[in-house]
């Protein structure tokens, strides 16, 4: 229950000095009793020079006193010692019970509300971070109720620090236990979503379109508000705003500095009257070449605790599709085609998952994964996978297709199967218990041709948010997703 590492704080009286005082009091009482016995023995020995009558009288008195001290004094000292021990131990038991109760309340609150700290640099997950004394800078590695205090602990410098969630602990400065980076999580509930894929598949464009649309349209329309994680994340959003207006997307940089994180998170708090605690959104982006080559500077631990995955898929990275459409694509669109083979990317990702999560080949992940086929604004992909295609399919077969996003899922899977990617779908189904397929266009047109006009970027993230957080799903409720249908069976029934 308690961290065994010595903390830079003063232990509670009942866990340190209380025991010493109890021992000293007991030793002192018995010493005084013994000193009285010895004193009367010495007085008896000193009667040799006295008159015989006086010697007899004093000797009789001293003997009675000696017997009285030995019998009554010992009994009284034993009774008082026992009473002192009982009283002090009762107080100690109450204190022990108190800190145990508050420790359990604090721990249950963190667990129930799925609160943890996810470092945005080393990606380490910790239940609570290392808290820093705001006065002297000392590090408190486990600031919870315990031997150093129940509701507060006293730092060695004399500053009182809160030890539970409800009395201000979250407001203290904190650092990651793994890399000592300053963290600002303030005991919020995180929702962590990595956006993965190879180089030039549209990950950064997707994050740009989602972030701008969610923050400026969804958040105010649902009575929510946001706060950036720190000034660095606010700076990232200013870049997102600029790219959004210009229709650009910046290539995620591969850092050559080994002390710099390969995976970058865009992080912001989301607040709503029903969010207790507030939510902290982490959307992770990683350079495609680093993702496929496994040359990250840090272990990608976010895959172990993330609440959902978005796998971006560039349809034109598939040879058969590229050959079919290259002749009618613009130079800009051709230049932006992802080069990595999707099967290779998936195999690379599964290797990463096994390394981080320690899963065996046969084990499946409960983490939901959204496979997002992007760039559907290019050539006629919208007619096969976009809104018009979904509505056309639902109108043509209303008996089988009653749900908009189930129909989109079907069309995306059929598109991949038609283009010789059944193995890809099978891999996803074998590794993830919960998967959905979506189509979208992050920019909405050729890159650099004007302001973003995103289509379909919110649905994949909304599905993941709803899977991860019931309360978030109640607030952001524009779409009601059905339970993931068994589309492998449906595809075979319809003759695909």
Residue after which a domain boundary falls, among 183, 201, 229? 183
Comparison of pLDDT for 181 and 50, the residue scoring more: 181
Residue 376 pLDDT > 80: yes
Residue 1 lies in a domain: no
Residue 342's pLDDT is what? 77
Cα 467 to the center of its chain, rounded Å: 16
Q: Cβ(370)–Cβ(310) under 8 Å?
A: yes
Question: Which of 233, 304, 291, 234 has the alpha carbon at shortest distance from 262?
Answer: 291
Q: Where are the beta strands (DSSP E) in 287-420?
A: 309-313, 369-373
Distance separating alpha carbons of residues 179 and 138, to the nearest angstrom = 16
The CA angle 283-287-289, to the nearest 5 degrees, is 145
Share of the chain above pLDDT 70, in %: 81
Q: Cβ(208)–Cβ(243) under 8 Å?
A: yes
Residue 320's pLDDT is what? 80
Distance separating alpha carbons of residues 285 and 209, to the nearest angstrom = 13
Residue 258's pLDDT is what? 41
Residue 5 lies in a domain: no
Q: Cβ(418)–Cβ(391) under 8 Å?
A: no
Same domain? For 105 and 122 the reply is no
In a 3-state reduction of DSSP, which class is residue 204? Answer: helix
Residue 473's pLDDT is what? 94
Distance separating alpha carbons of residues 17 and 147, to the nearest angstrom = 12
Per-residue tokens: 110: 């963190």
Residue 495's pLDDT is what? 47
Q: What is the mean pLDDT of residues 183-202?
A: 91
Same domain? For 242 and 353 the reply is yes
| Percent of the chain as helix, strand, coil, to the nearest 5 | 50, 15, 35
Share of the chain above pLDDT 90, in %: 47
Distance separating alpha carbons of residues 254 and 383, to the nearest angstrom = 35
For 96-105, the pLDDT digits (tens) are 888 899 999 9
Same domain? For 104 and 121 the reply is no
Residue 110's pLDDT is what? 96
Per-residue tokens: 284: 């992770």
Distance separating alpha carbons of residues 5 and 140, to the nearest angstrom = 10
Residue after which a domain boundary falls, among 183, 212, 241? 183
Question: Which of 244, 238, 285 has the alpha carbon at shortest distance from 261?
Answer: 285
For 31-47, the pLDDT digits (tens) are 777 777 777 676 666 66
Can you give the residue range of the structural domain that contains 17? 10-112
Residue 92 lies in a domain: yes
Residue 58's pLDDT is what? 67
Residue 368 pLDDT > 90: yes
Residue 23's pLDDT is what? 76
Per-residue tokens: 68: 């009285």
Comparison of pLDDT for 87 and 251, the residue scoring more: 87
Q: Which residue has the tokens 């000392």?
A: 138
Same domain? For 124 and 145 the reply is yes
Q: Where are the beta strands (DSSP E) in 59-126?
A: 117-118, 125-126
DSSP state, 276? S
Same domain? For 104 and 122 the reply is no
Pairing of the two strands 152-155 and 160-162 = antiparallel
Question: Which of 407, 386, 429, 412 has the alpha carbon at shortest distance from 312?
Answer: 412
In a 3-state reduction of DSSP, which class is residue 167? Answer: helix
For 443-487, the pLDDT digits (tens) are 988 787 889 999 999 999 999 999 999 999 999 999 999 876 555
Domain count, the chain: 3
Residue 90 lies in a domain: yes
Q: Where are the beta strands (DSSP E) in 224-278?
A: 225-228, 263-271
Cα 175 to the center of its chain, rounded Å: 14
Q: What is the mean pLDDT of residues 221-250?
A: 94
Question: CB neighbours (10 Å) of residue 90?
Answer: 10
Same domain? For 340 and 435 the reply is yes
Report which listed range, 26-30, 57-61, 238-242, is most confident: 238-242
Comparison of pLDDT for 173 and 378, the residue scoring more: 173
Torsional sign, CA 341, 386, 250, 197: negative
Residue 134's pLDDT is what? 96
Same domain? For 17 and 143 the reply is no
Comparison of pLDDT for 472 and 2, the residue scoring more: 472
Residue after which a domain boundary falls, among 151, 168, 183? 183
Residue 364's pLDDT is what? 74
Read off the CATH number of the domain in which 317 is found: 3.40.50.300
pTM: 0.83
Whether omega before 277 lies within 30 degrees of 0, making that bond cis, reads yes
Q: Where are the beta strands (DSSP E) in 288-434?
A: 309-313, 369-373
For 47-90, the pLDDT digits (tens) are 665 567 666 676 677 677 677 767 777 787 777 778 777 877 78
Question: CB neighbours (10 Å) of residue 88?
Answer: 16
Q: Cβ(425)–Cβ(416) under 8 Å?
A: yes
Residue 3's pLDDT is what? 47
Q: What is the mean pLDDT of residues 213-222?
A: 97
Residue 370: which region, alpha, beta or left (left: phi > 0; alpha: psi -120 to 50)?
beta
Residue 2 lies in a domain: no
Same domain? For 16 and 64 the reply is yes
pLDDT band at 394 (very low <50, low <70, confident <90, very high): very high
Cα 359 to the center of its chain, rounded Å: 20
Same domain? For 67 and 205 the reply is no
Question: Which of 118, 281, 127, 131 has the alpha carbon at shortest distance from 211?
Answer: 281
For 288-321, the pLDDT digits (tens) are 556 555 556 567 788 889 999 999 988 888 888 8
Q: What is the mean pLDDT of residues 393-413?
A: 93
Residue 47's pLDDT is what? 67
Q: How far is CA 483 from CA 2, 219, 430, 438, in A?
A: 42, 26, 18, 15
Residue 140's pLDDT is what? 95
What radius of gyration do the chain's Cα atoms show? 35
Residue 173's pLDDT is what? 96
Residue 327 lies in a domain: yes
Q: What is the mean pLDDT of residues 179-186?
A: 94
Per-residue tokens: 5: 């590492």
Residue 29 lies in a domain: yes
For 317-367, the pLDDT digits (tens) are 888 888 787 777 777 766 666 666 777 778 778 877 777 777 766 667 889
DSSP state, 432? B
Same domain? For 121 and 161 the reply is yes
Mean pLDDT (the chain, rounded): 84
In a 3-state reduction of DSSP, which class is residue 428? Answer: helix
Same domain? For 149 and 208 the reply is no
pLDDT band at 147 (very low <50, low <70, confident <90, very high): confident
Same domain? For 207 and 143 the reply is no
Q: What is the mean pLDDT of residues 278-283?
A: 97
Residue 411's pLDDT is what? 94
Residue 128 lies in a domain: yes
Residue 2's pLDDT is what? 47
In a 3-state reduction of DSSP, which class is residue 398? Answer: coil
pLDDT band at 408 (very low <50, low <70, confident <90, very high): very high
């Amino acid at each position: 229950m308690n961290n065994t590492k010595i903390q830079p704080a003063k232990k509670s009286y009942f866990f340190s000095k209380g025991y010493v005082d109890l021992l000293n009091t007991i030793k002192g009482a018995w010493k005084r009793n013994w000193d009285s016995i010895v004193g009367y023995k010495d007085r008896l020995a000193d009667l040799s020079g006295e008159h015989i009558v006086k010697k007899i009288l004093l000797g009789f008195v001293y003997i009675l006193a000696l017997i009285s001290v030995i019998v009554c004094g010992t009994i009284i000292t034993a009774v008082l010692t026992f009473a002192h021990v009982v009283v002090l131990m009762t107080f100690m038991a109450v204190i022990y019970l108190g800190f145990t109760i508050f420790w359990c309340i604090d721990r249950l609150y963190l667990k129930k509300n799925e609160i943890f700290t996810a470092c945005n640099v080393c990606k380490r997950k910790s239940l609570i971070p290392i808290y820093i004394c705001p006065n002297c800078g000392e590090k408190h590695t486990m600031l919870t109720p315990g031997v150093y205090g129940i509701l507060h602990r006293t730092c060695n410098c004399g500053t009182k620090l809160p030890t539970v969630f409800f009395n201000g602990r979250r407001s203290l400065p904190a650092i990651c236990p793994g890399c000592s980076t300053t963290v600002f999580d303030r005991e919020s509930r995180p929702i962590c979503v990595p956006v993965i894929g190879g180089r030039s598949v549209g990950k950064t464009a997707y994050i740009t379109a989602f972030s701008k649309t969610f923050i400026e349209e969804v958040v105010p329309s649902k009575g929510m508000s946001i706060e950036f994680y720190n000034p660095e994340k606010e700076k990232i959003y200013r870049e997102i705003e600029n790219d959004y207006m210009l229709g650009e997307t910046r290539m995620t940089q591969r850092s050559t500095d080994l002390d710099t994180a390969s995976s970058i998170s865009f992080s912001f708090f989301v607040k709503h009257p029903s969010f207790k605690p507030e939510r902290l959104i982490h959307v992770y982006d990683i350079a495609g070449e680093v993702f496929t080559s496994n040359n990250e500077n840090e272990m990608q631990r976010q895959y172990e605790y993330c609440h959902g995955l978005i796998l971006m898929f560039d349809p034109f990275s598939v040879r058969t599709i590229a050959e079919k459409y290259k002749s009618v694509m613009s130079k800009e669109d051709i230049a932006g085609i992802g080069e990595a083979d999707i099967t290779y990317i998936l195999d690379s990702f599964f290797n990463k998952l096994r390394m981080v999560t320690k899963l065996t080949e046969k084990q499946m992940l409960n983490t939901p994964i959204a496979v997002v086929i992007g760039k559907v604004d290019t050539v006629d992909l919208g007619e096969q996978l976009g809104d018009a295609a979904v509505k056309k399919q639902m109108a043509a077969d209303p008996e089988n297709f009653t749900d908009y996003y189930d129909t989109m899922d079907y069309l995306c899977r059929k598109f991949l199967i038609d283009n010789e990617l059944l193995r890809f779908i099978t891999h996803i189904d074998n590794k993830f218990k919960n998967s959905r397929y979506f189509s979208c266009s992050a920019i909405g047109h050729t890159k650099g041709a004007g302001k973003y006009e995103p289509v379909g970027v919110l649905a994949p993230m909304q599905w993941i948010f709803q899977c991860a957080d019931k309360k978030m799903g109640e607030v952001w409720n524009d779409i009601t997703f059905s339970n993931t249908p068994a589309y492998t069976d449906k595809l075979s029934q319809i003759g695909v």
